[in-house]
Amino acid sequence: MIIATGSVNIDENTKLAEQAGADNEEALKDLKTSMDGKITISTQAPFNDGVDHADGDLWLIQSDNVTTAMYTYGAGGWSEKQWDQETLNVKELSALSANLGTINAGILNSVEIDSSTIKSANLTEDYTSGGVHRQLWIDYNGFHYRNTDSSGGQNDVKMNDYTGMYISRSGGGTDSGYNGHTSIEGNDISTGNVNADGVLSNSVGTTTVNTSHLNMNLSTINSYTGSFYFEGGEGGSGEPGADVHAASFNKMSQLSVKRNIQDVTGDYALAQILGTDVKRYDYRLSDNSQQTNIGPIIDDENKIGSKKYDISSDMINSQSDGVSIDNEVGLLMAAVKELTKRNSDLQLRVTQLESEVKA
């Protein structure tokens, strides 16, 4: 028994049921059409395989069960199917080999890039590790690497077309007094300090060179100040000069490089030699293994008028901190010539006196 508790519009419900059946029938029809499409699997691109193909047929190119391309049949021909990037969701690509042409991307993260050419207007890296801030950038100005430690000290390495390579160190904190730079350009090396077991270069220009071995295959050394100092200890230490060993020393003496040429009389040279004290001495910081020295002394501790030791001003160099060996030898040569002349005159007078006595 059916008991109706409310009014029902039977005609309306019947119409909805008929409409739903029609929709289902159309969907089944479309599905059947798709299911009836033929799928061809081959290792080659679509060719005339002797089969009548209809719209909707698929042609898959596969190799080792891997599909590399898909074609659809329509309008009497095959066309390769293209996939929109929004429909792809790939977690991992184990291998990608393709002629990709131009790739536009925001960020590319990679462990290793193997390429014959990498072109970029600007390459940068900026990170902090172990308390050291490291920065690397390459742009149209060249290459630049910098690291900054926690105390503010910086190491800089630059390389470009104009200055070659420039390496600098600026100290920070307790290391604030440590500053220096090295510039490498062509065959020239210019630096504030060079500390090395060996330096081999065609040209070395520097304020101070500290090294156990300095090997130079060159013919010219240029000094901006015009002076070279060979000292014990670090450069500018003020310690006594170091020993210099060489087979010979040749002083440049061509007339073409000299000016203000004047005579030095024998009497003047002899007076300078006689007015210079010659002493035996050791350097204060030397030990018993070093040779005792003999020569003049520049008294740089007492005022004029109370000097302990006398020395000709012609023997003192322009910095007043050393003896000019050239002037010392020159005065000795002129003095020897004067003494030789005087000795010859005396011998002549003695000979004349002997002749007069015999007569």
Q: Residue 77 forms beta bridges with which residues?
A: 74
Per the model's pLDDT, the better-predicted residue between 173 and 67 turns out to be: 67
**Is 70 exceeded by the pLDDT of residue 69?**
yes
Which is higher by pLDDT, 113 or 45?
A: 45
How far are the Cα atoms of 45, 98, 99, 113 from residue 116, in angstroms, in the given order? 31, 16, 15, 10
Mean pLDDT of 125-130: 89
**What pLDDT, on the 0 to 100 scale, is given for residue 16?**
66
- At 206, the pLDDT band (50, 70, 90 cuts) reads low
Q: What's this model's pTM, rounded to 2 decimal places? A: 0.48
Tens digits of per-residue pLDDT, 277-328? Answer: 999 999 887 777 778 899 999 999 999 999 999 999 999 998 888 899 999 9
Are 280 and 292 spatial neighbours (Cβ–Cβ below 8 Å)? yes
pLDDT recorded at residue 196: 55
The pLDDT value recorded for residue 236 is 52
Parse the chain into domains and list their residue ranges: 35-46+53-75, 123-243, 260-358
Mean pLDDT of 64-82: 88
Decide if pLDDT at 2 tops 80: no
**Residue 3 has what pLDDT?**
44
- Please answer whether residues 185 and 158 qualify as being in contact, where contact means their C-beta atoms are separated by less than 8 angstroms: no
Segment among 45-49, 148-152, 207-211 with least mean pLDDT: 207-211
pLDDT range class, residue 182, cuts 50, 70, 90: confident
Span 20-48, pLDDT tens digits: 666 666 554 444 444 456 888 888 898 88
- Residues written for the chain: 359
Percent of the chain with pLDDT strictly greater than 90: 27
| Of 206 and 332, more confident | 332
Beta bridge partners of 60: 41, 70
pLDDT value of residue 311: 96
Question: Does pLDDT of 5 surpass 50?
Answer: no
Please tell me the distance from the alpha carbon of residue 144 to that of residue 315, in angstroms, as a whole number: 51
Mean pLDDT estimate for the chain: 79
Q: 259 is written with which tokens?
A: 């000016």
| 150 band by pLDDT with thresholds 50, 70 and 90 | confident
Indicate the range of 22-36, 66-80, 88-102, 224-238 predicted with least confidence. 22-36
Digit-coded pLDDT (tens) for 239-292: 667 788 888 988 889 999 999 999 999 999 999 999 999 999 998 877 777 788
Mean pLDDT of 333-346: 95
Q: How far is CA 36 from the centre of its chain?
A: 70
